[in-house]
Amino acid sequence: MEKGVPAVGDGQLWDLTLAQFREATAGLAMPGCGAVSAVVADFGLALVVKALQVSEKRERREQRQGLLQSAQALLGRPGAFADDDVAAFHEFLQARRHDPQAQQAASRQACAVPLATARACLEALDLAEAAWPEVVESVRCDVHAGALLIATAIDAVLLNVDADLDGLSDSTTVEEVRLLRRKLQDQADEHRERFAERI
């Protein structure tokens, strides 16, 4: 391990500084694309929260208050999957040394985590889309940037599903995962198209 790059594990990603997280991403097997995508999505949602808060300080509106409360409640959930992603990858690496059943369980979890991350990101994207007409003009760029980051995080985290499908031996499970992956991607693409029409 390179000097200055901390060990990653035991659910400690959010305790790292930004510089440490960057160095760990560049220099270690974990965190990988799933964890980085989860963090990016959470920062995207944070931009949406900020835009709603700034707008509320200018003028209180009941519908915007409801959106702000929902966004604040969701903030942190997409990012929490970063640690889950690291744990799932670690479990997968460990399972390769054991029996086929352990490998299958680890492969299923390796697919489940990015799918769950994508679902949380879609909730965040819903909020970004709803927030757009509710925020003041000066912070709409934050909502737009947040939505772009969240949508791109979905694209990126679903790549993990593609990579981990090969580890599943049951054809029925593979097809179910593929269908769910496609559905989540389609929903993200629909959000992206609708958002593009609004701006």
Residue 6 has pLDDT above 60, yes or no: no
Residue 135 has pLDDT above 80, yes or no: yes
- Ranges of each domain in the chain: 33-198
- What are 102-134's pLDDT values in tens digits? 788 888 888 999 999 999 999 999 999 999 999
CA Rg, the chain, in Å?
18
CA dist., res. 5 & res. 2, Å (int): 6
CATH architecture of 33-198: Up-down Bundle (1.20)
Predicted local confidence at residue 7, as pLDDT: 53
Q: What type of residue is 98? A: H
DSSP structural state of residue 127:
H
Interhelix angle for 140-164 vs 100-131, to 10°?
A: 160
CA distances (Å), origin 190, targets 135, 164, 186: 22, 25, 6
Task: Name the region of 75 (left: φ>0; alpha: ψ -120 to 50; beta: rest).
Answer: beta
As a whole number, mean pLDDT of residues 174-182 equals 94
